[in-house]
């Protein structure tokens, strides 16, 4: 996983992040998800592009074996 430090600054009445070049986004808007440690940024356009690209792979390898779904029951753990 790539990590970097970003600068926080004021833009009008809002806070903004100056993202390093390695973190440039293809979208004009992003989804922010609040986490315990802060927040995560999701680029929805990139996610949709990945889904479309993955969809084009379906059936692209006819020799790939058909693998049955895992139907084993969930096991209760000590910590649950």
Q: Which residue has the higher pLDDT, 1 or 18?
A: 18
* Domain count within the chain: 1
Tell me, yes or no, whether 64 lies in a domain.
no
Query: Strand, coil or helix: what is 52?
Result: helix
3 state SS of 38: strand
The mean per-residue pLDDT over the stretch 53-80 comes to: 82
Q: Does 52 reside within a domain?
A: yes
The answer to the question of residue 36 being in a domain is yes
Portion of the chain with pLDDT greater than 90, in percent: 29
Q: Residues 25-63: pLDDT tens digits? A: 878 889 999 999 999 988 888 888 888 888 888 778 888
Q: Which domain holds residue 46?
A: 24-56
pLDDT at position 80 = 61
The model carries a pTM of 0.52
Taking the C-alpha atoms of residue 72 and residue 44, their distance in angstroms, rounded to an integer, is 33
Q: Does 45 map to a domain?
A: yes
The answer as to whether 5 is a domain residue is no
% of the chain exceeding 70 in pLDDT:
98
Task: Identify whether 38 is part of a domain.
Answer: yes
Q: Is residue 12 part of a domain?
A: no
């Amino acid at each position: 996983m790539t990590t970097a430090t970003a600068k926080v600054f004021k833009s009008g009445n809002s806070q903004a992040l100056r993202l390093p070049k390695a973190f440039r986004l293809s979208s004009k808007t992003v989804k922010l998800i609040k986490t315990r440690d802060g927040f995560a940024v999701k680029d929805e356009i990139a996610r949709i592009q990945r889904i479309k690209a993955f969809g084009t792979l379906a059936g692209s390898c006819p020799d790939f074996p058909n693998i049955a779904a895992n139907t084993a029951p969930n096991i209760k753990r000590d910590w649950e």
